[in-house]
Amino acid sequence: MTLSKFQQVSEAPTHPSPQKGERSFDVADLYRGPVAQETPQSTGALPLDEKLRQAYFWITNQAIISPFYDVEYNDGPPQVFTFGDQKAQLTLPSDQSYSSYVLLPLLNLAVRRRCLLVGGPGRGKTAIAILMGVLSGYTLLDIKRAIQHGQPQMTIADLLGNPLPSTLVNAKSMDEVTIAWRRWLGMRLKIIDEYNRIPTRTQSALLTVMADNYAEIYDQVFECPDAAWYLTANDDAGGGTYQVIEALSDRIDVVVKALHFNTRFLNDLLLRIEEGVRPEEIVPPQIIFSAEELDRIEKEILAVEFPHELRRRLEFFASHFEFFEPAARQVEYMTKDTVKLSGIDFSSFSAEETGKDAVADLGSQSRNGLSVRALMTSLVFIKAMAYFRGAKKVIFEDIRQILPFVLHDKLVQNPDSPYFEQAGNGSLRADHVSWIRNLFDESSKEYDRLNLDRDDPIAKCGDAFEQGLDGVTEKEVRKRLAEIERTFKRMAKGKKFYGHMFDDLLKLKYYHQRYTNYLRWLKWSS
């Protein structure tokens, strides 16, 4: 066997979709679909979504031995087999499925976010990060020199750079100090190995680079380019030599687990040893992306359509978690964040009787809600998943498959929830991917039970409000206010207050206040 065998790029077994031309982007594009105007690709050029798929298949077929197809899609019912006394289920997907360990880092490269790879030593975390660096156009030497290796003695100077001694001695002000910045700061791909072994003070400096794209020493500032980040940690996913500060952990966009080596593939490992194959050294040039291509991919991803009915399901899912009735008297402050800010132990509140079915209440399974950052990241990665498949718009399964990886460390589990005491649910305490996917499935069932696609009174109020208030008469305003108040009365007839009602009630209150203010203005103007 020759090295050319390992460099073979197979044609991706999917069909590329029509490509979008470049255009300016704003936040509304996260919701809006493809624009009308499109510019064709250069004649003979490989569409970028197809190139992305080719990179994926080369990595899975030739580079990384990761035979775990855990991102599952189905075109019809899958075959299901059960094993053991616990009735463990194995499904055979009926449509093309993917390995999260390869797919998620690749999508992270496309959207330039922050990916955390977790798993025990020797499971290829750094290897997959280095491959992403080669795919982004850097030489192997440049990548290896730029890797930041976390260790207890790492200082801010080790991470960012040092002032030149001559300028430091002669400088009359900070402005005259020249800093020798570390080269990795200027790269479009950044790798931090064992980031949980970095001292807390140095973590704060890393946070500035990761969150705000700049480094600062002696009042000198280095502006960093947008970059795809890859961080690694061992099994504890954040508790290593130093506890990872919350703000830094919160900047992680997607978490991917490096699973064990399947011993049935030992022959493949032996073959690489005998042939002297190092995948990072033989990446085929046709799957390496230029900076311009990566910029274009991100724009094309953001232009993927996210249908309204699927956005509503995502909204409904996210609405379950922040609400916490025992936290306050005023509805607005009935949140888990109120408890966190108080410094009082969460368990002392959660034990308070509210009359709700604690097993059926999805919100009881978490100790926090979802931040704006988590929701925006979810939108982006869901679109990236659809784009990777060659689809023009998001489907339900894109959301279901991606959310567990984006929310893995964002949604903090409440291990004391009675839900985990139910038969068969105990394993979800450890398996966060399955837990979050199960949460989304249960939320979707409740969404269907409530028939919210056809009967959503809050959406009806919103449709009227979105038409604007210009020219709306006093009679019409009073009519709308009365309808909102009737909706409040209908919702108040229920004996229990669940999380999915929380944001609905506050939005109705928002509409009511806007109309009340407008009515007051009408009276004043007349």
Phi-psi sector, 127: left (phi>0), alpha (psi -120 to 50), beta: alpha
Nearest to 496 by CA among 359, 381, 325: 325
pLDDT tier, 31 (very low <50, low <70, confident <90, very high otherwise):
low
Nearest to 521 by CA among 465, 470, 466, 464: 470
Phi, psi dihedral angles at 377 (to 5 degrees)? -65, -40
Nearest to 253 by CA among 304, 210, 193: 210
CATH number of this structure's domain 114-252:
3.40.50.300
Phi-psi sector, 492: left (phi>0), alpha (psi -120 to 50), beta: alpha
pLDDT for position 36: 38
Of residues 484 and 30, which shows the higher confidence score?
Answer: 484
pLDDT tier, 510 (very low <50, low <70, confident <90, very high otherwise):
very high
pLDDT for position 29: 58
pLDDT for position 20: 46
Q: What is the pLDDT of residues 389-444, one digit of tens each?
A: 999 999 999 999 999 999 999 999 998 899 999 988 899 999 999 999 999 999 99
Q: How far is CA 294 from the centre of its chain?
A: 19
Q: What is the pLDDT of residues 296-320, one digit of tens each?
A: 999 999 999 999 999 999 999 999 9
**What dihedral do alpha carbons 35, 41, 45, 46 form, nearest 10°?**
10
Is 315 in contact with 504 (CB distance < 8 Å)? no
Residue 16 above 60 pLDDT? Answer: no
Q: How far is CA 460 from the centre of its chain?
A: 30
b/e map of 419-458 (b: 16 or more CB within 10 Å)? Answer: bbeeeebeebeeebbebbbbbbebbbebbeeeebeeebbb
Alpha-carbon distance of 522 to 517, in angstroms, equals 9
Phi, psi dihedral angles at 121 (to 5 degrees)? -60, 145
Q: What is the pLDDT of residues 351-365, one digit of tens each?
A: 666 677 878 899 999
Q: What is the pLDDT of residues 95-141, one digit of tens each?
A: 999 999 999 999 999 999 999 999 888 888 999 999 999 999 999 99
CB atoms within 10 A of CB 250: 16
Q: Tell me the pLDDT of the chain averaged across its residues.
A: 88
Q: What is the pLDDT of residues 77-95, one digit of tens each?
A: 999 999 988 888 899 999 9
Q: What is the pLDDT of residues 155-202, one digit of tens each?
A: 999 999 988 887 777 776 777 778 899 999 999 999 999 999 999 999
Is 428 in contact with 381 (CB distance < 8 Å)? no
Q: At what angle do helices 372-388 and 100-111 cross, to 10 degrees?
A: 110
What are the CA-CA distances from residue 413 to residues 17, 38, 125, 325, 396 (Å)? 39, 44, 25, 18, 24
pLDDT for position 363: 92
pLDDT for position 120: 86
Mean pLDDT of 364-371: 93
pLDDT for position 236: 58
**What dihedral do alpha carbons 183, 189, 195, 201 form, nearest 10°?**
50
Alpha-carbon distance of 208 to 105, in angstroms, equals 22
Q: What is the pTM of this model?
A: 0.89
Q: How far is CA 150 from the centre of its chain?
A: 24
The bridge status of strand 189-193 relative to strand 148-149 is: parallel
Each domain of the chain, given as residue ranges in start order, spans 114-252, 457-525
Maximum Cα–Cα distance across the chain: 89
Give me the residues paired with residue 233 across strands: 118
